Each structure stands twice: as structure tokens, then as C-alpha cells.
Amino acid sequence: MAAVSGLIRVMERAARKAGGRLRRDFGEVEHLQVSRKGPADFVSKADRASERTLYDELLQARPDWGFVLEEGGIIEGDPTKPRWVIDPLDGTSNFLHGIPHFAISIAAQEPRLDGKGWGDVIAGVIYQPITDETYWAEKTRGAWLHDGRLRVSSRRHLDEALIATGIPFAGAGDPNEWVKIYAEIGPKVAGIRRFGSASLDLAWVAAGRYDGFWESNLQPWDTAAGCLLVREAGGFVSDWRGRSDPICDTQVLAGNDALHSRLHKLIVGALKG
């Protein structure tokens, strides 16, 4: 049974408050006033309201911590304290199309000891409002779904692996790169899924539902909490070169040790030359 820390309680409380509001707004999705942020990237009133709720709750709980907000940008805090990295609605296109697969992602990232920039993610919460599921992890304390410990899957062979991905869309990502990688991986695995919420893709790798995940061109708020979840569930996260970074937003390859290494070889082979 997990001993839930004060930090996780603060994060979960904020996520549940914002998530309750998203749930209500999702029920009235047709009536939402929607504005375009970029091609295929919509920002809804619900998105902004969720971010505001998270900001208010977390600021009250930790007044001197800074923020990296998808919508609001960077808000500096005390540089010796952690900062929040937040996606108030991950899966916006799903939300706007009435597809109940989206989440709130909150991570706490600590400053580097040498004071030069930002270091490890120390805690992450991914809350799925429609299913009321809270995935959470704390550095060195494991990954959890409520009070159940999460472990990445134990499948070792590609032909039994279900792999999630994110497909480039208008204005985001490199379709040629994705096609090359898919051509190597797709025919060798049991299935490929593209559900449209990178934070949940990573949470589901941590939960052993997916056996692996790859996507490029993500943002820190998409991956910060999810990468910690996968690592704390015993998995590996790296970029295409195999380098491990606390957040791995530019290129994310996640899976258990065997599948991470197999998928990594396939990606390297797909992109060489």
C-alpha cells in the first residue's frame, strides 16, 4: 500500500478540482466557445479554466514555486524550489470531438544542484477525469494507480507487443520520419494504437497496458509526469539516440528493458542513411 506524500496529495487535489470542471464542460462540449491556437491545435474555454484552477490551487499550496504552463507560459518562482510543469488538458482534439480520452498532467521538477537549470522530475500526477483514474509517481517511491503499484509489461517479443504512438498532424512533427519508423515497427508488432493523449500513452505504458510508445515533437508538459511514471514502473525512456533526459519531450521512446532496446534498434535502423 502506498504511503501518499503531502506533495502528491496537493497535486491530486488540484487535478481532481480541475478535472471535475473538465468533466462538466465535456458534457456540454457543443456549447463551448472554441478558438484556434494553430492548425489542429484548439484551445477551448475549458482548457483555460482547467489551467486557472490548477494554477490557483498549486500556488496556494506552494506559494514560492514557479510554473511551466502550456497556455500561460513560464512563471518564475524561487529558483531554489521545484517548479510545476502542467498540461491542463492533454487530448484536446479528443475533447472537442466528444471522445472521452483526455487527461490533466502535473509534474514537479527540481532545480539542478549546481543551480544551472532544471533537473529531475520528483513527482507526477496524470488524472483522467472521465474514468476518475489517478496515475501518480514519486521519484524512488514507485508508480501507482490509486493504491495499486504499477509495473511495465513483461512481454519481451515484438510480435506480442501492443505499441502506442503519436502521428504527426498539421503543423506538428515530421511525417516522413514517422512513416520510416512505422514501416520498421508496424509489421513486426501485434498492434499500433494512436489514441491522442501523450500523457495517457505514457501512463498506460507504466500500467502495462501498452508495451511501448514512441512519439517525437512533444512538449515538456506532455511528457514530464509520464516519463517519471514509466521509469518508476520499471521501464525505460530515452530519445532516438538512447539518451535519457528527465523529460524526453523532443523524442520519446518508452517500454520495458527488452522492448525498449528492440524498438530502439528498429528506430536507429529506420533513420540511418
Residue 197 touches which of ligand IPD, Ca ion, none (Cβ within 5-8 Å per kind): ligand IPD
Residue 148 or 175: which CB sits closer to ligand IPD?
175
Comparing every residue's Cβ against Ca ion, the nearest one is 90
DSSP string, the chain: -----HHHHHHHHHHHHHHHHHHHHHHTGGG--EEEEETTEEEEHHHHHHHHHHHHHHHHHSTT-EEEETTTEEE---TTS-EEEEEEEE-HHHHHTT-S--EEEEEEEEEPTTSSSEEEEEEEEEEETTTTEEEEEETTTEEEETTEEP-------GGG-EEEE---BTTBS-HHHHHHHHHHHGGGSSEEE--S-HHHHHHHHHTTSSSEEEEES--HHHHHHHHHHHHHTT-EEE-TTS---SS--SEEEEE-HHHHHHHHHHHHHHH--
Residue 126 or 143: which CB sits closer to ligand IPD?
126
Among 25, 51, 57, 222, binds Ca ion (CB under 5 A): 222
Residue 25 or 87: which CB sits closer to Ca ion?
87
Residue 12 touches which of ligand IPD, Ca ion, none (Cβ within 5-8 Å per kind): none
Residue 90 or 249: which CB sits closer to Ca ion?
90
Residue 130 or 172: which CB sits closer to ligand IPD?
172
90 touching Ca ion, by CB under 5 A: yes
**Smallest distance from ligand IPD to CB 81, Å:** 26
Among 25, 57, 87, 249, binds Ca ion (CB under 5 A): 87
Positions in the binding site for Ca ion (CB under 5 A)? 70, 87, 89-90, 222
